[in-house]
Amino acid sequence: MGTNSTDDFILVGFSDQPQLEKILFVVVLISYLLTLVGNTAIILVSCLDPILHTPMYYFLSNLSFVDLCFTTSIVPQLLWNLHGPSKTISPIGCAIQLYVSLSLGSTECVLLAIMAFDRYAAVCRPLHYPRVMHSRLCQSLAGMAWLSGMGNTLIQGTITLRLPRCGNNRIYHFICEVPAMIKLACVDIRVNEVQLLVASLVLLLLPLALILISYGCIVQAVMRIRSAQAWHKALGTCGSHLLVVSLFYGTITAIYIQPSSSYAHSQGKFITLLYTVLTPTLNPLIYTLRNKDVKGALKRLVRKDQSTAE
């Protein structure tokens, strides 16, 4: 990573603000460690505690795994570049980062929509819920999320990497991301920008529309009951997911659904930091702090460890 090659890409990142780099290094490192601990804990309790062997926690453990891999594809390189004078990334490293992060980001978009459907089934069809959300359907839906992410990446990533760059190797970002990579091309990129917009509409706005429809149905169902207890239960069931959706979609749509001229601005870099570093850190915190089941499962696991140690 540290050796310079003429083929290497230069990730400009935050190099114009050296003081900010030092602060960001500490913030990103702490966030990454919390992401590793928090998401690993959710995967472990979801697998080890029989009470959490439900569709909601099956999808949640998938989300935690996506977040773990997503941040790991970005943060180690970011920390290396923030810490030292070298800001380079090899062409293979850049291609891997682009493919992996785009695939996992796309997977998360679809997964959050599937989780909203699961919440709709739990609140609006409680009596039929076990029959509707059976294990085979859950596995198929999770598989669909992963496949759609991979499919989008193979198309978008390959088109972007095949663009002629005429020696342009300065990426005005801290990661190899499609919008920033397109900017390096020395040919007319209007077709690529349209392709990116179409892919973003399909993989961002379509799942978001499904999430809004699911929550619209949930609100209607709860309003019909007109019970404070029902409202409280629905909020407990859906509140964590709504917070996670707001965090993720609020930041990622600001990057991918916007005029191309603003992609490389410093504002874009900070928004990208939010969904690549901060959101995966906050997701497990949101789910554990607002969720009695997860807190109970963590306590049971700790007690079990203590009793085995004795």
CA neighbor of 59 nearest in space, from 148, 153, 151, 137: 137
The pLDDT, as a whole number, for residue 5 is 56
* CATH code of the domain covering residue 30: 1.20.1070.10
Asked whether residue 1 is domain-assigned, the answer is no
The pLDDT, as a whole number, for residue 71 is 95
Asked whether residue 310 is domain-assigned, the answer is no
Asked whether residue 78 is domain-assigned, the answer is yes
Scanning 86-227, the segments in alpha helix (DSSP H) are: 91-124, 129-132, 135-161, 178-182, 190-200, 206-225
Domain that holds residue 26: 9-302
pLDDT digits (tens, 9 = 90+) for 98-128: 999 999 999 999 999 999 999 999 888 888 8
Asked whether residue 154 is domain-assigned, the answer is yes
Asked whether residue 132 is domain-assigned, the answer is yes
Asked whether residue 36 is domain-assigned, the answer is yes
pTM of the model: 0.86
The pLDDT, as a whole number, for residue 1 is 41
Overall domain count for the chain: 1
Cβ-proximal residues to 10 (8 Å cutoff; 6+ apart), any chain: 87, 88, 169, 170, 171
The pLDDT, as a whole number, for residue 16 is 80
Asked whether residue 176 is domain-assigned, the answer is yes
**CB of 146 within 8 A of CB of 107?**
yes
Asked whether residue 2 is domain-assigned, the answer is no
- Residues of the chain predicted below pLDDT 50: 1-3, 261-264
